[in-house]
């Protein structure tokens, strides 16, 4: 079975600090993409960052970066210089089988404190 685990149901961080959200996944596929999506309170889900499994270089997107460890099947998200607007649920996800199935983790609720 293809699964995604996020072991931190809730986290908090002080504004301007750095926080890392963890994600592990299980798949027997070789071709897949990994994602972090953000869902602010009462708002729609938006893409934060994407990583191709065949690329060794970790993806970065402004203050957001990932640490992708393919052998360990680990895909953590680092948020630098946290801002109040980063408060949201964060979902780790991957897609396999040539783009047909997205599997999401249970989410981590991040609160950025002033």
Partner 1 sequence: DTGVSQNPRHKITKRGQNVTFRCDPISEHNRLYWYRQTLGQGPEFLTYFQNEAQLEKSRLLSDRFSAERPKGSFSTLEIQRTEQGDSAMYLCASSLDGFGANVLTFGAGSRLTVL
Instruction: Considering only residues 42 through 61, tell me which ones interact with partner 1, judged by CB under 8 A.
Output: 43-47, 50
Angle made by CA atoms 92, 96, 101, in degrees to the nearest 5:
80
Binder among 33, 59, 69, 87 for partner 1 (CB under 8 A): 33
Q: Does 79 bind partner 1 (CB under 8 A)?
A: no
Distances (CA, A) of 37 to 43, 71, 94, 114: 12, 23, 11, 23
Q: Does 99 bind partner 1 (CB under 8 A)?
A: yes
Rank residues 56 and 114 by Cβ distance to partner 1 and give the closer one. 56
Binder among 19, 95, 110, 112 for partner 1 (CB under 8 A): 95
Q: If you ran DSSP here, which 8-state letter would residue 16 be given?
A: T
**Which pair of structure tokens corresponds to residue 107?**
């989410």
**Would you tell me which residues interact with partner 1 (CB under 8 A)?**
4, 31, 33, 35, 37, 43-47, 50, 91, 93, 95, 98-107, 109
């Amino acid at each position: 079975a293809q699964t995604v685990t996020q072991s931190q149901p809730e986290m908090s961080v002080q504004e301007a600090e750095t926080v890392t959200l963890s994600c592990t996944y299980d798949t027997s596929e070789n071709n897949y993409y990994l994602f972090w999506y953000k869902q602010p309170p009462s708002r729609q889900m938006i893409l934060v960052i994407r990583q191709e499994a065949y690329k060794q270089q970790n993806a970065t997107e402004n203050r957001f970066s990932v640490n992708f460890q393919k052998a360990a099947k680990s895909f953590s998200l680092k948020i630098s210089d946290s801002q109040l607007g980063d408060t949201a649920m964060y979902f780790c996800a991957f897609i396999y089988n040539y783009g047909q199935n997205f599997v999401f983790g249970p989410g981590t609720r991040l609160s950025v404190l002033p």
